[in-house]
Amino acid sequence: MTRSVAICLHNEASELAKVRDALDCLGREFHLPSPELIELQIALDEIVSNVIKYSWSDGVDHEFIVRITVRTDDVVLEIIDDGAPFDPRRAPEPPRRRPAARVSHPGGLGIHLIRKLVDGFAYSRIGGRNHTTLTKKFVQAQSGRGELNRE
Amino acid sequence: MNSNSALSIEEIREGGVCVVALAGRIDSTNANEVMTRLTGLISAGEKSIVVDLGTVLYLTSAAFRALLVATDRADRSAAKLALCSLAGHVRDLFEMGGMLELFTIHASRQDAIAAHS
């Protein structure tokens, strides 16, 4: 009843296209509704770019894992990295009504959008790795449910 | 989503206004292209820019940052930069991010051009 895809990424911004394309493929395969798929793509971009920018500060190449799991009525995004411990849920809210501050310190906006766009946002540190999990519920289209049931 | 959701950037001259029509999705992989194009126009002396978001599929915080940086650059260069045609998901995202009050926003391209003329 589920389909899971794991993608190994390097900590470079260009790598984001890999997970974006993988989620697009799963969206087509399972006929995920467009609004939810768009919201998932935004949340995925925000959380993965956050890991790429902030998990390591040594300037060295690192690898991390993104696992996308499509279940009967939700999609789960798991990001597992061995960077510095960081719970993204504790990121401060972006400053309001201060445009100049937003230009120079926009970091909190991405996390703020994730909070608004997904149904579940979990974090744990396990065995020296950050495990961040985003969950998005959706109402499966009839044809898509048929495909899931054939799994 | 398919290849039609790739970012495209088109410049159209409407009298004294430079309209930059964006289409597709703007995310961490391509937001810098938007910022580079807009700041390049400002550096080249463009004084009146309208960014049309009418056919943008979605945008992320990287895109908001690109638009904020370009707006800030325009302010410091005595240029005007406005947005227009926010609809659907794009408008929802501006609202969600508390971004509506940070930009000059017009309902349509025609309104924006009229305001800049």
A27 — alpha (psi -120 to 50), left (phi > 0) or beta? alpha
Q: Which backbone phi and psi does A97 adopt, to 5 degrees?
A: 60, 30
CA closest to A19 among chain B residues: B29
**Separation between Cα atoms, residue B108 and residue B91, nearest integer Å:** 13
pTM of the full structure:
0.90
**pLDDT by residue (tens digit) across A103-147?**
545 568 999 999 999 999 999 999 999 999 999 999 866 554 444
**Separation between Cα atoms, residue A108 and residue A118, nearest integer Å:** 16
DSSP string, chain B: --GGGS-EEEEEEETTEEEEEEEEEE-TTTHHHHHHHHHHHHHTT--EEEEEEEEEEEE-HHHHHHHHHHHHHHHHTT-EEEEE---HHHHHHHHHTT-GGGS-EESSHHHHHHHH-
pLDDT tens-digit profile, chain B (117 residues): 654 589 999 999 998 999 999 999 999 999 999 999 999 999 999 999 999 999 999 999 999 999 999 999 999 999 999 999 999 999 999 999 999 999 999 999 999 999 987
Across the interface, of A13, A34, A94, the residue whose CB is closest to B29 is: A13
Q: What's the full length of chain A, in residues?
A: 151
**Separation between Cα atoms, residue A147 and residue A143, nearest integer Å:** 7
Across the interface, of A38, A48, A110, the residue whose CB is closest to B57 is: A38
Residue B88 tokens read as 């659907």
pLDDT band of A1, cuts 50, 70, 90: low
Looking at the predicted structure, is the pLDDT value of residue A70 above 80? yes
Print burial letters for B26-49: b (CB count within 10 Å at least 16), e (below 16).
bbbbbbeebbebbbebbeeebbbb
Mean pLDDT score of chain A: 87
**Separation between Cα atoms, residue B84 and residue A71, nearest integer Å:** 38
Residues of A in contact with B69 (CB under 8 A): 103
Looking at the predicted structure, is the pLDDT value of residue A96 above 70? no
pLDDT at A120: 98
Residue A11 tokens read as 């900590």
pLDDT band of A91, cuts 50, 70, 90: confident
Looking at the predicted structure, is the pLDDT value of residue A69 above 70? yes
**Separation between Cα atoms, residue A77 and residue B91, nearest integer Å:** 25
How much is the ipTM here? 0.92
pLDDT at B27: 95
pLDDT at A147: 44
CA closest to B58 among chain A residues: A38
Q: Which backbone phi and psi does B57 adopt, to 5 degrees?
A: -75, -50
Q: What's the full length of chain B, in residues?
A: 117
Across the interface, of B1, B29, B60, the residue whose CB is closest to A42 is: B60
- Cα B103 to Cα A83, B54, B65, B75, B87: the distances in Å are 36, 16, 12, 11, 15
pLDDT at A99: 53
Residue B74 tokens read as 């325009």
Which residue, among A9, A21, A31, A38, would best test binding to B if mutated, counting the most B CBs under 10 Å from its CB?
A38
Residues of A in contact with B72 (CB under 8 A): 99-100, 103
pLDDT at A92: 77
DSSP state at residue A128: T
pLDDT at B116: 86
**Separation between Cα atoms, residue B34 and residue B10, nearest integer Å:** 11
Percentage, residues of chain A above pLDDT 70? 82
